[in-house]
A and B are shown apart, each in its own frame.
Chain A
């Protein structure tokens, strides 16, 4: 949680935080698989003519101004000689899991910020490590050795400074910000480096002639508060390298969700429902694997103009069964889409308000049929792969996507965020 400046100044203990980031993660994995790509500009996310954005670009591609989040067409314009690949999400996931397994060996305090990025805190286990920076370097060496991927590491006394240190260390380096160096380090950085200063805030600050972080130091707290409300306190602290956020160490999940962007916009009702059914199937499977029931089901749709709508329902009986989830999701989806029947570029489904046990309802009949069906389904899939058993509706997707018998359809969206 964010604190007021006054509260922050009252606390105060030296912390040891490491930020660690896999360099150009997806692209590096692709190079590892196909060494011929080494040294070439590489864009992961889709083919040049396809819609969607680049999810990662190799450093060679970045030289041409290409960056992640940029539409593929534009990437192609800037760097036509780049190699474009759609990417292999399952593979990245596997690398990511290995990455985190290594990190968890060093400290229990690991925040998995995204697939390729983590914060580690050594404050609690400082007695185990004679040298903080040696420990950080050791982790870096191990990740490089065992994954074969480039990694950048920043070490400092809190999250914001560690992250900024990593940025300085990139690519492939190590940078430790020692106590007392913070001011000089921050002084010349652009305000856009501070997470939380979005485009709007930047405009406001630049109007006040605030460009560098040192300029921000001149702005009184009161002014920041009146400009940004509670965020003002945050900016005041972050710009001084003060950050009391603790690591979001993995606790219990709050929700599970599955979504996908289509290869091209879809308005065919059956094909949309096929996607939805498949996503519900995947969602239900992860709920069952993690032993949760969802009390709330939410469906999301994005139109071709990027307008995004969603609809949710609170259920009296929490669910983890594929059919139960799909029935609700279908109703919700049709409620929000049937009125317009416009083409969509994305659908998603989310289960939240998770519970570990469900209380049956007095006023609704309960039958174990769905539960048993799912148990049987899970057993078959465990043995023969996810796509060994699909509903007719889901099967429609085989006309659109490649199938990996073990892991299901290879959908388009590969996402770095968890």
Chain B
């Protein structure tokens, strides 16, 4: 194998792979990337067996071939080279020689036949949608995904219908739901798949107009131009989230978002560090916030609000409130509350780009 390419062509692709390849070497081969030189371009592949990335860059290939080589070392070296340099890659027996001007490294390669096969797709279903909208949707659900034993909660539910995408995530105490219309989205029948948190994080790094989507029995495929993300399917049943969406909660709080965020931040300074619990005390026209921590003291705040409903004292995890409020763009938000023991529905007052709902269970403080 022998090829050369410019730093600018390589570095972004290699950088993306750093998020994928295994940092802890449970299987040493997974700390490698597979470099495959073909006609006029070079393919790069990396995987942690859950998520894989296949990407490519243009190159002047003098001799085709492939090697598996430590991705981190390669990336760190190339990153430090001057911009617009041409870099030569030559396989010499057990080593890959990477050379640019007077700088050179010689990296030991790993047996490429040990590298796990990465699935491929022809994207025959021709399902695709707008990337930038999708990235905004991901931001709405990412924070409510946990890393825990209940495997099905380690991802978000992606639901694809004609002209419409939904993403849902929950950690058992809260639920984020977002839906947007995509005019040119066509599917034969509704698709429901759980996407892992890591995949969503990687998808956020993609820039372009459209993302193509496909799946088979084992994997989900996302392709943006030359880059394809392969994500192993999480085979579990996502909880029945529709059943827990509150309907017709009678007590309505309409509140300015920025003011609320600031008040929560001030009050949560003295909330218990573990539970982050704060209390809302609601009366007509007025919201009092309160927190206390036996070790440090207590905090109070008061906001004039538009509240219609009965007097109510209800506890929340302040961090969970901030997670949602930080991803909302609307100037005002609406809380629909039943009582201090039941799920609260929170949503932006004005929604320009589809629907964004947050369901939050109260906290007993």
Across-interface contacts of A357 in B (CB, < 8 A): 272, 275, 277, 315, 363-365
Q: Is the CB of A359 within 8 A of B317?
A: yes
Q: Which of A15-23, A134-142, A361-369, A398-406 contacts B (4 or more CB under 8 A)?
A: A361-369
What are the residues of chain B within 8 A of A356 when measuring CB–CB? 272, 274-275, 277, 365
CB of A219 within 8 Å of the partner chain: no
* A373 at the B interface (CB under 8 A): no
What is the CB-to-nearest-CB distance from B268 to chain A, in angstroms, rounded to a whole number?
A: 13
**Residue B265, interface by CB 8 Å:** no
The chain A residue sitting closest to B243, CB to CB, is A363
Selected from B170, B274, B275, B341, the residue in CB contact (under 8 A) with A360 is B341
Q: Are A359 and B363 in contact, with the CB atoms below 8 A? A: yes
Shortest distance between the CB of B133 and any CB in chain A (Å): 27
Contact status B365-A361, CB under 8 Å: no
Which of B53-61, B171-179, B327-335 makes up part of the contact surface?
A: B171-179
Residues of B within 8 A of A362 (CB): 170, 172-175, 239, 244, 343, 359, 361
Among A360, A362, A368, find the residue whose CB has the most chain B CB atoms closer than 10 A: A362
> Can you name the residue of chain A whose Cβ is closest to the Cβ of B240?
A363
Contact A355 B275 (CB under 8 A): yes
**Of A358, A363, A367, which contacts B364 at CB under 8 A?**
A358
Q: What is the interface of chain A mostly: helix, strand, loop, or mixed?
A: loop
Return B267 CB to nearest CB of chain A, in Å. Answer: 14
Task: Tell me the smallest distance from the CB of A390 to a CB of chain B, in Å.
Answer: 26
What residue of chain B has the Cβ atom nearest to residue A314's Cβ? B149
Q: Is the CB of B361 within 8 A of A359?
A: yes
For A364, the closest partner residue in chain B by CB is B172
Instruction: Report Cα–Cα, A355/B341, bound state, in Å.
Output: 18
Partner of B362, one of A316, A355, A360, A363: A360
CB–CB A360/B272 < 8 A? no
Known: A357-B365, A358-B364. A363 touches B172 (CB 8 A): yes
B342: A residues at CB distance < 8 A: 366
Assess the B172–A368 pair: CB atoms within 8 A: no
Name B363's contact: one of A316, A360, A368, A371 (CB within 8 Å): A360
Q: Which residues of B contact A371 (CB under 8 A)?
A: 364
Query: CA separation between A357 and B362, bound complex, in Å?
Result: 10
- Measured between beta carbons, the chain A residues less than 8 angstroms from B175 are 362
- Distance of A361 Cα from B341 Cα, bound (Å): 10
Given contacts A316-B172, A363-B172, A363-B244, contact A358 B363 (CB under 8 A): yes
A residues 310-363 touching B (CB-CB < 8 Å): 316, 355-363
Q: Which residue of A lies closest to B244 (CB)?
A: A362
Cα distance A355–B244 in the bound complex, in angstroms: 25
**What's the minimum C-beta distance from B2 to chain A, rounded to whole angstroms?**
52
Nearest A residue to B273 via CB reads A356
**What are 10 residue pairs bridging A and B, where the CB atoms are less than 8 Å apart in the complex?**
A316-B172, A356-B274, A356-B275, A357-B275, A357-B277, A357-B315, A357-B364, A362-B173, A362-B244, A363-B244
